[in-house]
């Protein structure tokens, strides 16, 4: 009986920034639970490689290479997916980037790029997809936030600002769209081994600090995010809205 809450058969998901890291792992996880998945990234070659790897395992995968920070490209691409591939039932706004520098020296152009990639993309894609979802009276939007939606560390204040914005954008989406049958929530990963964090993974001092700071005592593995995404994408979360689910090994629970 409980399987119906996690069965995504017949659903289609668009996952932005899904050629690598967390996005790729989440896309694969949704596909393994029955969803058809549309992968997105700007790099078409890397996107095709990710799609082929998933197809080799018998998964239902399509590709849509477009820039999630370009409003015109987003609107046109979402419409094309809806018309040519199928209705988008699930959206995971995962596209993101990092830039580390002391706040007093942080380049203005890097600030602008972070905002467009981490926040504006979720606004643009979320809005474009929601228009179609609202017409159908149903839909799931999952934004990828961060442990930095709640906490800060030196050298990444602008990134922290963007992830705080994602947490509140998620609340705003739920407030506006829940009455139309949409559930809009966020997942806030802690420290996971991904290409975005590779410099930290390779730093023994940081890893030692992380293992001491995190109650679980280790880095997370990206597959450990899949169940949270499947829950928020499935029928089991039908009355969950505007929430941020922290998957962080207990980091935000302790001091």
Angle between helices 21-32 and 226-233 (to 10 degrees): 60
Cα–Cα distance, 174 to 112 (Å, whole number): 26
Q: What is the pLDDT of residue 56?
A: 97
Domains of the chain, earliest start first: 2-246 (3.40.50.720)
Average pLDDT, the chain: 96
Q: What is the mean pLDDT of residues 128-156?
A: 97
Q: What is the pLDDT of residue 119?
A: 98
| pLDDT above 90 (res 93) | yes
Beta strand extents in the chain (DSSP E only): 12-15, 36-41, 61-65, 90-93, 139-144, 182-189, 244-247
Place 108 in a pLDDT band, splitting at 50, 70 and 90: very high
Hey, which residues are catalytic here? 159
Give the DSSP letter string of 70-100: -HHHHHHHHHHIIIII----EEEE-------
Cα–Cα distance, 146 to 97 (Å, whole number): 12
Strands 36-41 and 12-15: parallel
Q: What percent of the chain has pLDDT over 90?
A: 95
CA distances from 70 to 107, 124, 167, 190 (A): 22, 8, 22, 28
| pLDDT above 60 (res 160) | yes
Cα–Cα distance, 155 to 79 (Å, whole number): 39
Q: In what order do the strands lie in the sheet with 12-15?
A: 61-65, 36-41, 12-15, 90-93, 139-144, 182-189, 244-247
Q: Are 117 and 95 in contact (CB under 8 A)?
A: yes
Place 4 in a pLDDT band, splitting at 50, 70 and 90: confident
Cα–Cα distance, 220 to 224 (Å, whole number): 7
Q: 207 or 255: whose pLDDT is higher?
A: 207
User: DSSP H helical segments within 92-183, as ranges?
Assistant: 108-115, 121-136, 157-177
């Amino acid at each position: 009986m409980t399987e119906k809450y996690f069965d995504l058969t017949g659903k289609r998901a668009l996952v932005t920034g899904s050629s690598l890291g967390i996005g790729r792992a989440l896309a694969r996880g949704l596909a393994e639970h029955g969803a058809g998945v549309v992968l997105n990234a700007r790099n078409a070659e890397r996107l095709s490689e990710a799609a082929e790897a998933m197809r080799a395992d018998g998964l239902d995968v399509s590709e849509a290479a477009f820039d999630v920070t370009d409003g015109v490209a987003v609107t046109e691409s979402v419409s094309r997916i809806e018309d040519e591939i199928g209705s988008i039932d699930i959206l995971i706004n995962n596209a993101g980037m990092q830039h580390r520098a002391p706040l007093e020296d942080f380049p203005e152009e890097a600030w602008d790029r972070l905002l467009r990639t981490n926040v504006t993309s979720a606004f643009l894609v979320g809005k474009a997809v929601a228009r179609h979802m609202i017409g159908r009276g149903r839909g799931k939007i999952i934004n990828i936030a961060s442990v930095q939606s709640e906490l800060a560390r030196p050298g990444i204040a602008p990134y922290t600002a963007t992830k705080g914005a994602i947490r509140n954008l998620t609340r705003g989406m739920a407030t506006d769209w829940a009455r139309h049958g949409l559930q809009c929530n966020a997942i806030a990963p802690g420290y996971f081994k991904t290409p975005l964090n590779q410099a930290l993974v390779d730093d023994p001092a940081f890893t030692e600090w992380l293992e001491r700071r995190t109650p679980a005592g280790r880095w997370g593995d990206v597959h450990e995010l899949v169940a949270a995404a499947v829950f928020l994408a499935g029928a089991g979360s039908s009355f969950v809205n505007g929430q941020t689910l922290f998957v962080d090994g207990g980091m935000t629970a302790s001091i």
